[in-house]
Amino acid sequence: MSSDFIQNLNDGSNQPPHLAVHQSWWAMIDLGNGEREWTVEEKFEKIAAAGFTGILGSVPSDPQEAAKWRNLLDHYHFDFGITITPRSVEEGKAALEDAKNFGVNYVNAQVQDNFVIGQAAIDLLQGLVEAGKEVGIPFFAETHRGRITQDLHRTVEYVQAIPDLRLTLDFSHYVLAGEMGSYSEKGEALFNELLPRTGSVHARVSNGEQIQVDIGPEGTHPMVEHFKRWWTTGMRHWAGQARPGDIFPFISELGPAGYAITLPGTVREISDRWEQALVFKRIAEECWDRAMQPELTPVNG
């Protein structure tokens, strides 16, 4: 990566680089008190009370709703990231400019689509990276199925071709697509090609058969150790090039029914998704603490 371009969320301070655990707004869908879904205001309050310091969502299209969001974000002093789905550089640049105007802190891109491959994909991603620089907002391409980053092999090609490409790591997609329900030496080698480009993390755990599994109240699912290793390594790579004031966004992103496993014939989830989000928050903090002690924990350990 070029030394003159480090694209991180930054608070403008001289403080050491640090972790920020954010909550996905998509992950708040259908969460409530058992009788009704929480209101927007209640969701913000819950997120803040749990110790999250930001939200990944989208800018509301309705002006009144957008104004309400701006007020709530400012009230809670939240960082705000959004996800965009550009199909062209022009579309991406317009979304980045809108984000900048709203006060968005960073942009996560699910670049369309999985049928764009080879040089066309490289050109599109390179153009979007340049647009992010031009607009002046951190831009991360998400490792996601059904997108330009459909699989491990092609995403490795992208990072090799584009020195400034930074990633939102969501390896649950690659574990699922490759049915990697245990350690894979070949898969690990490819993951290690991507980890130095970590810009942020989207947290969920796949077991190689389902995209999102319940990891238990203590995070003891067998696949958790693999994800913790990847997240810790990505954090360590990130910290190695971070500057004062830089912030590492770790986003708990547990999707509603459709991603969440449900009881047969119902939309009732088998997990308490909110409690699971809190488990992921604790794991993020553990990974960060470990990442900051490289002499005690080798990268591949």
Domain assignments of the chain as residue spans, ordered by start: 9-291
pLDDT of residue 294: 60
**In Å, what is the CA distance from 204 to each residue of 68, 123, 261, 284?**
29, 30, 13, 11
Q: Are the C-beta atoms of residues 5 and 234 closer than 8 Å to each other?
A: no
What is the rounded distance in angstroms from the CA atom of residue 5 to the CA atom of residue 129?
11
Give the chain's residues under pLDDT 50: 1-5, 296-301
pLDDT of residue 7: 83
What is the rounded distance in angstroms from the CA atom of residue 209 to the CA atom of residue 111?
24
Strands (E) across the chain are located at: 9-10, 18-24, 54-57, 79-84, 106-109, 139-142, 167-169, 198-203, 246-252
Fill in the amino acid letter for 67.
A
3.40.50.2300, 3.30.300.30, 3.20.20.150, 3.40.50.1220: CATH of 9-291: 3.20.20.150
- The angle subtended at Cα 248 by Cα 221 and Cα 96, nearest 5°, is 115
β-pairing, 18-24 with 246-252?
A: parallel
**In Å, what is the CA distance from 170 to each residue of 2, 124, 249, 262, 296?**
24, 20, 13, 22, 26
What φ, ψ does residue 183 adopt, rounded to 5°?
-65, 135
pLDDT of residue 1: 36
pLDDT of residue 118: 97
